[in-house]
């Protein structure tokens, strides 16, 4: 009986780790790039997913130098977080016809993790373009949220030339777009800032 009591928490811990890993992999888009003479895993998504309109969120990137002995495995022990890229990279955030260049900052106590914080104000498709330089090569890498939350994954089975000295080798996963809070507001329905602006415009017509 004692063995069963001690074994159950251990099993639950293992299941929690496995489940958490799966959630992380599908909440962001993982890509393997050859940039110059090196391979990099560059994973991009939104901060604090799932994201709702007017949440504090933003774009984030996890950048790892791939393991030369196992480059197709982003979880390999030989991967190395790439630090110091906040000096060379920015995010271009776009939604509809609006664009904004945003600096990135290293996440606290998490090497290779970079963030650009913003508040999504409308429910639409957001595009995160990582621009700048890695390994002395100019990059412009587009990532886009997927409105189909039931099937956010995309996979690439062949290589794709992105630009000079930048080759996409692998792609998997995806991330959702900001959602309306109307169905999740409690105890009162939530009204977004944009909805309030529209109401005021109607009143003063």
**pLDDT classification of 176: cutoffs 50, 70, 90:** very high
**pLDDT classification of 122: cutoffs 50, 70, 90:** very high
Residue 118 lies in a domain: yes
**pLDDT classification of 151: cutoffs 50, 70, 90:** low
Residue 17 lies in a domain: no
**pLDDT classification of 117: cutoffs 50, 70, 90:** very high
Average pLDDT over residues 44-50: 95
More confident position, 193 or 45: 45
Residue 18 lies in a domain: no
**pLDDT classification of 69: cutoffs 50, 70, 90:** very high
The residue range of the domain holding 90 is 28-203
More confident position, 183 or 28: 28
Residue 41 lies in a domain: yes
Q: What confidence tens digit (pLDDT) does each residue in 81-99 have? A: 999 999 999 999 999 999 9
Residue 191's pLDDT is 74
Q: Which two tokens stand for residue 122?
A: 């409308």
Does residue 139 contact residue 133 with C-beta atoms inside 8 Å? yes
Average pLDDT over residues 33-50: 97
Residue 18's pLDDT is 37
Residue 5 lies in a domain: no
More confident position, 196 or 52: 52
Residue 147's pLDDT is 80
What predicted TM-score, i.e. pTM, was given to this entire model?
0.80
Sign of the torsion formed by the C-alpha atoms of 34, 35, 36 and 40:
negative
Residue 4 lies in a domain: no
Into how many domains does the chain fold?
A: 1
Residue 22's pLDDT is 38
Expressed in angstroms, the distance from the first to the final Cα of the chain is 74
More confident position, 4 or 59: 59
Residue 173 lies in a domain: yes
Average pLDDT over residues 139-164: 81
Residue 2 lies in a domain: no
Q: Which two tokens stand for residue 31?
A: 């890509």
């Amino acid at each position: 009986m004692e063995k069963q009591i001690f074994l159950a928490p251990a099993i639950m811990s293992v299941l929690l780790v496995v489940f958490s890993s799966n959630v992380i992999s599908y909440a962001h888009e993982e890509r393997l790039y050859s940039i110059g003479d090196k391979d990099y895993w560059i994973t991009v998504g939104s901060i604090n997913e799932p994201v709702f309109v007017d949440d504090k969120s933003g774009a984030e990137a996890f950048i790892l130098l791939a393991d030369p002995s196992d480059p197709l495995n982003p979880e390999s022990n030989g991967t190395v977080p790439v630090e110091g890229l906040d000096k060379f990279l920015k995010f271009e955030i776009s939604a509809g016809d609006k664009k904004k260049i945003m600096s990135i900052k290293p996440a606290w106590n998490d090497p290779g993790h970079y963030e650009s914080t913003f508040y999504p104000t409308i429910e639409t498709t957001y595009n995160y373009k990582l621009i700048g330089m890695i390994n002395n090569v100019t990059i412009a890498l587009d990532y886009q949220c997927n409105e189909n939350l039931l099937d956010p994954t995309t996979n690439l089975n062949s290589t794709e030339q992105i630009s000079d000295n930048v080759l996409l080798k692998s792609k998997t996963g995806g991330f959702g777009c900001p959602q309306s809070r109307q169905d999740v507001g409690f105890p009162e329905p939530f009204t977004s800032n944009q909805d309030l602006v529209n109401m005021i415009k109607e009143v003063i017509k």
